[in-house]
Amino acid sequence: MKHLVDQLLGLRVELPRTRGTTVVVDGRRISDVRQIKLPDDPGEQSRLRREVQRVKEQVRYQRRKHDPAFQAMRAAYDERTREKRQAWKREYDQRNKERKRRQKNEWARRDYLANAEKYRAKSRAYYERNRERILARKKNRTT
């Protein structure tokens, strides 16, 4: 009530602070972005305010994730848009097929070069385990 009187008298123009989440950013407990006042460093002030908003949104999402009504709404949305998402995924995969293939080859090559002995040992072990079958298959191909 005091804040309303202060606003009517023109002493205070801030809106009342709503009950909400208190977050910790850079070691400071902040429950409202108006608590961040750094007149000498506006860049740092805006960074802190963005960080508080990000953390609050994250907390809100985590809280809503367990809400049955929100879960039902998300499930209904997922059901409605399943075909559209699958079509988009097929189209994306087709469009980026070559790039994804190159990327996978580069990763595999990089991993093999980093752990070459491990892969050679696995190949030797596989050959030793399946030696007879491999030789029989090779013999059948040549005849």
Q: What is the DSSP string of 77-99?
A: HHHHHHHHHHHHHHHHHHHTHHH
pLDDT value of residue 100? 97
Q: Which residues pair with 28 in a beta bridge?
A: 25
Longest dimension (CA), the chain: 103
26 vs 80 pLDDT, higher one: 80
B/e letters for 113-141, b = 16+ CB within 10 Å, e = fewer, are eeeeeeeeeeeeeeeeeeeeeeeeeeeee
Domain final residue, candidates 55, 81, 107: 81
pLDDT value of residue 13? 54
Domain final residue, candidates 31, 47, 81: 81
Q: How many domains does the chain contain in total? A: 2
77 and 107 share one domain: no
Residues 30-51 have pLDDT tens digits of 877 777 777 788 888 888 888 8
Place of tokens 């190159």: 102
103 and 135 share one domain: yes
pLDDT value of residue 3? 63
* Residue 44 · residue 28 · CB < 8 Å: no
Sign of CA dihedral 81, 82, 83, 87: positive
pLDDT band at residue 69 using 50, 70 and 90 as cut-offs: very high
77 and 114 share one domain: no
Long-range contacts of 15-21 (CB under 8 A, 24+ apart): 20/56, 21/56, 21/59, 21/60
In a domain, 62, yes or no: yes
> pTM of the predicted model, to two decimals?
0.47
- Which of 2-11, 72-81, 114-123 bottoms out in mean pLDDT, i.e. has the lowest? 2-11
